[in-house]
């Protein structure tokens, strides 16, 4: 699974968690995972373009 797929899968998980009214702490954890994945993706993309 590449980074883009991981971000998309986690985004869908977050969306489902929000629609199911999951505990806010869990939603926050999922959101942090997405943030970390996006940062990793952007850093790797920047390294490839330099």
Model's pTM, two decimal places? 0.85
pLDDT given for residue 49 in this prediction: 83
Q: What is the pLDDT of residue 26?
A: 96
Domain assignments of the chain as residue spans, ordered by start: 3-49
- Distance (Å, whole) CA 49 – CA 33: 24
pLDDT digit string, tens, across residues 7-50:
999 999 999 999 999 999 999 999 999 999 999 999 999 988 86
- Predicted local confidence at residue 40, as pLDDT: 93
| 21 secondary structure, DSSP code | T
User: What integer pLDDT is reported at residue 1 of this predicted model?
Assistant: 79
């Amino acid at each position: 699974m590449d980074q883009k797929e991981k971000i998309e899968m986690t985004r869908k998980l977050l969306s489902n968690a929000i629609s199911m009214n999951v505990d806010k702490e869990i939603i926050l954890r999922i959101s942090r995972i997405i943030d970390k994945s996006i940062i990793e993706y952007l850093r790797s993309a920047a390294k490839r373009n330099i």
